[in-house]
Chains A and B, each alone.
Chain A
Amino acid sequence: MSEHSKSSPLPTYFAVFFALLVGTALTVYAATLDLGKYNAAVALTIASVKATLVALFFMHVKGASEKLTKLVVIAALFFLLLLLGLTMTDYATRLWS
């Protein structure tokens, strides 16, 4: 990206990087616990937080002034939601035997 795109100060990047490492460690730790039906929920929550950090800081979405950038991010989230939501019409209503 060019000079005028808002990048954060260097320490912020290290902090985010550290947070991602912590997240990874947490995921590994959570995998050793049996939380029953919360297994997936916990893993996905950690993963989502990490993905959000990457998008906001490493991909410069935070502080982006461009409407277009925001549109792209929203579109991507929307399509992810479609994938998950419409797939759930199957999983939530299937006759499991």
Chain B
Amino acid sequence: MSMPTPMPQPERENYLNKEYGVWSWLLTTDHKRIALLYLLSITFFFFIGGFFALLIRLELLTPAGDLVQADTYNKLFTMHGMVMVFFFLIPSIPAVLGNFLVPMMIGAKDLAFPRVNLLSWYLYIIGGVMMLHCMLTGGVDTGWTFYAPFATNFTNTKIVEAGLAIFVAGFSSILTGLNFVVTIHRMRAPGMTWSRLPLFIWAHYATSIIQLLGTPVIAVTIVLVAAERALHLGIFDPKLGGDPLLFQHLFWFYSHPAVYIMILPAMGVVTEIIACFSRKRIFGYSFVAFSSIAIAVFGFLVWAHHMFVAGMSVYAALVFSLLSYAVAVPSAIKVFNWTATLYKGSIHYDAPMLYAFGFLGLFTIGGLTGLFLAALGIDVHVTDTYFVVAHFHYIMVGGAVMGYLGGMHFWWPKISGRLYPEGWARLAALIVFIGFNLTFFPQFILGYMGMPRRYYDYSHMPEFQVLNVLSTAGATVLGVGYLLPMIYFLWSMRYGKPASDNPWNAAGLEWKTASPPPTFNFDEEPVVTWEAYNYEELDAPHSEEVPVGR
């Protein structure tokens, strides 16, 4: 489908060409430029985390521990986890797409605290540099979970430095959340009522609440670990009157909700994409909105499902198992409502939608296997096996990263003012989907057969090799799938066709301004008189018709 789209004035002033030079970026308070700073930085950390993943998969290609030794292997999976969780996935959608879009979607000029926004990026960078320094000078070997007493009493790797890096980066996350909450409460354009907000905003609102309430707990926990190591306070060490399980309680009180920091924004992205590419209002708008809030609240009630075999009381295990089932309800509400939105929609298979479909399937598999794990009887058998690894990668990579990529494609014309090559993008989406499943599906089977996680050598069980080879092969396919978008996005910045203001004919205020937008987003303050996702209206024959896709 191609239609002559009106070319935007090439010389129009926008946030990209308004000023040039390093300082115009490093001292910017424009949320859109800060979003791009974040985009560059998290992409950098994605490569580092990916590099560790590659080495892990290479080691597991053969049963013997031949590529690296046990110590190195421990450091590899630890640093893979820490980098991917704290320096890529947690900031990914909120700090890049959220930063760029939250003000624009509600019709504001910027976030409520533009300088705090810049500060959050600097904190992230300081944390990131500390983490790099830590990794280059020896690294950490405890796993991203830092369990006591290994982390507090035994390991002599750089726990305190890594902890401080995460502590600092945590504050960047808190500040982003704070900024979003205040912005969403205070800066909505006239007529942009709560019930007219895009569901992307609701998802980010819920995410921000978790960031605000949860992150301080992990910060305090890290301080306690440092204090115990440095001052020998008896907090987690039983010899000194502490309790090692207390660490796990505190750690997971943040880190389970943190998994929702990673997935809720992706849910928001997918909601926008599904509405646009099935040309329908989201089915059950208010249910989808409130399920985000419900996930944020219930997410805080389930943390000890990570501790079923750690020695906590059986009664508590029962309570947390039950509560874990409760949190699946709002997630299921979302999946059902997305499906109902697709029903009788006029569906377009553009690249963002392919990612959204990938998300739907993979998140569902990840979520349902989460329920397996939340059942005490099953968890006892598969805890600490590759089954768990497969479970959370289906959600975090199959869900969150798919959502992130889908969102990057969907909003790329707005961000860069250029169109990406659609054919390549669809191909990349397909490669990502195939590579992902090839990498992680075998891990479900491996875990079910009993392969433990975090082992570098499985020579006593050579029959595990076939599935491990499949998984490593899949990882290389997945790697290609991730490199492609990076290449054609860069290519399109120079050679891509200029994008019109609204290339998808999408609803939402961000599409009512120029691509790329001017520094203060709108030439005049928008006034909202329509409901969210008014696709039926947009597509009605009397309105000017611009087909979706190219």
Contacts and interface: CB of A to CB of B under 8 A. Distances in A.
Given A79-B213, A89-B319, A94 B313 contact: yes
Interface in B313-366: 313-316, 319-320
Given A68-B185, A82-B300, A83-B253, A90 B313 contact: yes
Contacts of A86: 301, 303-304, 316, 319-320
A82 B185 contact: no
Contacts of B245: 90
Interface in B201-228: 209, 213, 217
A90 B304 contact: yes
Interface string A61-84: 000000010000001100100110
A32 interface: no
Given A75-B213, A83-B217, A89 B301 contact: no
Interface residues of B, number: 19
Given A75-B213, A82-B301, A87 B249 contact: yes
Contact of B313 (A76, A79, A82, A95): A95
A29 B73 CA distance: 48
A76 B316 contact: no
A89 B185 contact: no
A83 B314 CA distance: 18
B312 interface: yes
Interface string B282-321: 0000000000000000001101100000001111100110
A93 interface: yes
A79 B210 CA distance: 10
B304 A93 contact: no
Contacts of A93: 313-316
A76 B304 CA distance: 20
Contacts of A92: 313
A44 to B, nearest CB: 15
Contacts of A94: 312-313, 316
Given A68-B185, A93-B315, A76 B249 contact: no
A89 B314 CA distance: 10
A86 B316 CA distance: 8
Nearest to A83: B253
Contact of A89 (B213, B246, B315): B315
Contacts of B301: 82, 86
Most chain B CB neighbours (cut-off 10 Å) among A83, A90, A92, A93: A90
B213 A76 contact: yes
A94 B307 CA distance: 13
A37 to B, nearest CB: 13
Contacts of A68: 185
A68 B184 CA distance: 13
Interface in B128-144: none
Contacts of A75: 209, 213
Contacts of A90: 245, 249, 304, 312-313, 316
Contacts of A82: 300-301
A94 B244 CA distance: 14
Nearest to A68: B185
Interface string B244-288: 011001000100000000000000000000000000000000000
Given A68-B185, A90-B312, A90-B316, A79 B300 contact: yes
Nearest to A94: B313
Nearest to B304: A90
Contacts of B320: 86, 89
Contacts of B217: 83
A40 to B, nearest CB: 11
18 contacts: A68-B185, A75-B209, A76-B213, A79-B213, A79-B300, A86-B301, A86-B303, A86-B304, A86-B320, A87-B249, A89-B319, A90-B249, A90-B304, A90-B312, A91-B313, A93-B314, A93-B315, A93-B316
Which 10 A-B pairs rank lowest in CB-CB distance, beginning with the nearest? Answer: A90-B316, A94-B313, A93-B315, A93-B313, A89-B316, A90-B312, A87-B249, A79-B213, A90-B313, A89-B319
Given A86-B301, A87-B249, A90-B304, 13 more contacts: A68-B185, A75-B209, A76-B213, A79-B300, A82-B300, A86-B316, A86-B319, A89-B315, A90-B245, A93-B314, A93-B316, A94-B312, A95-B313
